[in-house]
Chains A and B, each alone.
Chain A
């Protein structure tokens, strides 16, 4: 019986997908679970698996075209099956409800012929062990799909918990990517093999190394391979999509932070409970500068440049095994104490991995601060589709010349990475000028 293939939901925030590449062409045989196409989502390019058996009868969207979730994008059926009803449905733009589709197909088949009841029975699939409901609904994805629901058998979940194995690091070998007992056994075996090597290594490490025993260092360095976490995978994929296709350029400036430091001291004197960090002030100032320079608060789209109305600032937070950028929405309109409270709360939940997707996606600009690690300056990689990211270094006293005198000032270096497709050198420089002006005179925030 013919099955509709619909645009599946491949990431939690996905609303539409762009067909990157068909892996099958019309007339090709396909079976359940076989890769059918590659889909670009808002997050990544994902493989879409076939949820039916038969022949790829009709492709309804071409490579490069986009479709909203649930739209019928292809039809799988028997080579000689009449799919005109499904085609008509697809072309009328109806999004597929698979149940309706499959129950619709059977009576029509019967109408076309002499409609013997036996044929109808056969059409409704005495052989098929799986009910056809759920086909094409896009509900059954790869179990370990990016950010999606993990499909795990109960015993596998239990064994993984006991062995301390991260299920997201595994690929399920069961139907629809279900992680099953066998997968955990293999993972345990792999970990066991590593553990066996480990004691030998640590033993060597504690051996006293006298000069005579100084090991000769030749050849390549020894190494160990550790399975990659899902988060590390996502970071890798996203950063490659950034530095690769995005032409970066970098602008650095020095900012005198004495007034900011003084303002913080005043706020503290006012209310010791109010904990405002330098970074909270930077967020606020950056947001204010973005509103003044909407060219920077933008995003490169395939055919357009998108300018955002709000300044939603992504704040990079380091967490175990990666980083995540919770978003402070409309930071220009929020008070410093509001921003401080929000950043603290989001960072805390980020560290315990309890952020909701909508809390770490959809920033219009990002800030990464490594000052607390003693980094003077650095460049950051743009988090697409944003057009810029600000890398903030350490604030420290530096001797500078003012009015012919050598004095010390609290200096902070910031470097902005810009997407040259959206921002030009001068545009970026003007933004930084404003940013610097406000930060050096934070009273601008209230006038």
Chain B
């Protein structure tokens, strides 16, 4: 297996799927001539030409709608948002059109579209450009939400997302584009949507983490191992549909749950998981479910404050110690 970055893994997935199916095409700001704001689309214009790799004007609502229309007409668009912060402008097309078309057309129109781009914090880009929006999109029936944390997951999940006949929100993380990992070279390597991955096995406490929080949770688990606390780290990978069974089974084993997320706490994905666990595994809990989340403030610009607003290893370690009563 080759060791490549998440950026390269995403690029491979796009190229492979475009080779595999000529209906797949790419659209977004700076995806073609500039090779992508984060170079995820590097080399694609050269290989597939300007009919399939299209630079759009800075008008998210417009090109998102164009994508939905193309999907209705039988193509399989991949729409890149330079970051998901800008997808806020396109929410009418994503939520009102893409998510609802299959239902409102009585099953006549599938929308096989992928909206992808980085989500969450970057490096000092302040309040408007550092938002984690997964709970927004996961809220609506009709859209799938995917958040990979490793190079292999990024490749396998993006390929599945492109092959899926429904709208998929595919959320990358700017801080993680350079993270490296082993990735299978097989062109048919895919990872099914809706299946969680146990990143580390343990028996004393379960940590559920996604995206940026997965490597942080794994570091926390290493730290806790030294303190004789064995942690199971679960990455749901897909937020909707959520593989709650894997989480429930883990909680039944460990009896303690910490959920780490980069997003704001209020009405977040952790709140949803916490409620599900309470409903389905209440009798197995030995401690209240504990959330570790981003601060409930707009992201500060100052570097020191930005660091304080994003959960780190220490907060996760402390939370696990709390639920493990040590």
Using CB atoms and an 8 Å cutoff, list the residues of chain A in contact with chain B: 129, 153-158, 173-175, 180-182
Interchain nearest-CB distance for A158 vs B (Å): 5
Residue B109 lies at the interface, judged by CB distance under 8 Å to chain A: no
By a CB distance below 8 angstroms, the chain B residues around A154 are 282-286
A122–B23 Cα gap in the complex (Å)?
56
In the bound assembly, the distance between CA atoms of A181 and B318 in angstroms comes to 19
CB distance from A32 to the nearest CB of B (A): 13
Specify which chain B residues have a CB less than 8 angstroms from the CB of A153 in the assembled complex: 255, 285-287
How many interface residues does B have (CB within 8 Å)? 10
- Name the distance in Å between A323's Cβ and chain B's nearest Cβ: 35
Asked whether B225 is an interface residue with its Cβ less than 8 Å from the other chain, the reply is no
- B residues within 8 A CB of A155? 255, 283-286
How far apart are the CA atoms of A153 and B285 in the complex, in Å? 7
Decide if A182 touches B325 in the complex (CB within 8 Å): yes
20 contacts between A and B (CB under 8 A): A129-B322, A153-B255, A153-B285, A153-B286, A153-B287, A154-B283, A154-B284, A154-B285, A154-B286, A155-B255, A155-B283, A155-B284, A155-B286, A156-B286, A157-B283, A158-B283, A158-B284, A175-B325, A180-B286, A181-B286
List chain B residues, Cβ under 8 A from A174. Answer: 287, 325
A156 / chain B contacts, CB cutoff of 8 Å: 286
Residues of A within 8 A of B322 (CB): 129
The 7 A-B residue pairs with the shortest CB-CB distance, nearest first, are A181-B286, A153-B286, A155-B286, A155-B255, A154-B283, A154-B285, A158-B283
Other than A153-B255, A154-B285, A158-B283, give 11 A-B pairs with Cβ distance below 8 A: A129-B318, A154-B282, A154-B283, A154-B286, A155-B284, A156-B286, A173-B325, A174-B325, A175-B325, A180-B287, A180-B325
How far apart are A210's CB and chain B's nearest CB, in angstroms? 54
What is the CA–CA distance of A175 and B288 in the complex, to the nearest angstrom?
12
CA distance A173 to B287 in the complex (A): 12
Q: CA–CA, A158 to B286, complex, Å?
A: 10
Interface centre among A129, A173, A181 (most CB of B within 10 A): A181
List of B residues within 8 angstroms of A158 by Cβ: 283-284
Q: Mark B270-295, 1 if CB is under 8 A from A, else 0.
A: 00000000000011111100000000
Indicate with 1 or 0, residue by residue over B105-123, a CB within 8 angstroms of chain A CB atoms.
0000000000000000000
Docked pose: A140 CA to B265 CA in angstroms: 26
Q: Could you say which residues of chain A place their CB within 8 Å of the CB of B282?
A: 154
CA distance A218 to B277 in the complex (A): 59
Please give, as numbers and ranges, the residues of chain B lying within 8 Å of A157 by CB-CB distance.
283
Distance A173 CA – B286 CA, assembled complex (angstroms): 12
Please give the distance in Å from A116's CB to the nearest CB on chain B.
Answer: 16
C-alpha gap A236/B286 in the complex (Å):
32
Question: How distant is the Cα of A12 from the Cα of B285 in the complex, in angstroms?
Answer: 28
Provide the residues of chain A in CB contact with B285, threshold 8 Å.
Answer: 153-155
What's the minimum C-beta distance from A184 to chain B, rounded to whole angstroms? Answer: 9
Chain B nearest Cβ from A124, distance in angstroms? 13
Taking the closest CB of chain A, its distance from the CB of B246, in whole angstroms, is: 19
Q: Which of B255, B282, B318 has the most CB of A within 10 A?
A: B255
For residue B264, give the distance in angstroms from its CB to the closest CB of chain A. 15
| Bound Cα distance from A46 to B193, whole angstroms | 57
| A-chain residues with CB within 8 Å of residue B286 when the two chains form the complex | 153-156, 180-181
Q: Kindly state the separation between the CA atoms of A182 and B229 in the bound complex, as whole angstroms.
A: 14
Complex CA distance for A155 and B322, rounded to whole angstroms:
16
B296 to chain A, nearest CB (A): 10
B284 contacts across to A, CB distance below 8 A: 154-155, 158
Q: Which A-chain residue is minimally distant from B282 (CB atoms)?
A: A154
Specify which chain A residues have a CB less than 8 angstroms from the CB of B325 in the assembled complex: 173-175, 180, 182
**A155–B324 Cα gap in the complex (Å)?**
13
Interface string of B155-188 (1 = CB under 8 A from A): 0000000000000000000000000000000000
Shortest Cβ distance from B290 into A: residue: A129
Q: How far is the CA of A154 from the CA of B284 in the complex (A)?
A: 6
Chain A residues near B283 (CB, 8 Å)? 154-155, 157-158
Q: Which of A157, A173, A180, A182 has the most CB of B within 10 A?
A: A180
Closest to A152 in B: B286
Which residues in A have their C-beta under 8 angstroms from that of B287? 153, 174, 180
Alpha-carbon separation in the docked complex, A153 to B256 (Å): 11
Q: How far is A91 from B40 in the complex, measured between Cα atoms in Å?
A: 69
Which residue of the partner chain B has the closest CB to A179?
B286
* Bound CA–CA A158/B255 (angstroms): 12
Residues B239-283 near A (CB distance < 8 A): 255, 282-283
Q: Which of B303-325 contact A (CB under 8 A)?
A: 318, 322, 325
Interface centre among A129, A153, A157, A175 (most CB of B within 10 A): A153
In this complex, the member of B284, B285, B286, B287 whose beta carbon has the largest number of chain A beta carbons within 10 angstroms is B286
Query: In whole angstroms, how far apart are the Cα atoms of A180 and B285 in the complex?
Result: 9
Closest to B326 in A: A182
How many angstroms from the CA of A248 to the CA of B95 in the assembled complex? 83
* Chain A proximity of B305: nearest CB distance (Å): 11
Shortest C-beta distance, A231 to chain B (Å), equals 27
Tell me how far the C-beta of A46 lies from the nearest C-beta in chain B, rounded to whole angstroms: 24
Enumerate chain B residues within 8 angstroms of A181, measured Cβ to Cβ. 255, 286
In the complex, what residue of chain A is closest to B295 when comparing beta carbons?
Answer: A126
Q: In the complex, A355→B213 CA distance in Å? A: 53
User: Could you tell me the distance in whole angstroms from the C-beta of A305 to the nearest C-beta in chain B?
Assistant: 50
| Separation of A173 and B282 alpha carbons in the complex (Å) | 20
Contacts of A175 in B (CB 8 A): 325
Bound form: Cα–Cα A182–B255 in Å = 11
With most chain B CB atoms within 10 A of its CB, the pick from A155, A180, A181, A182 is A155
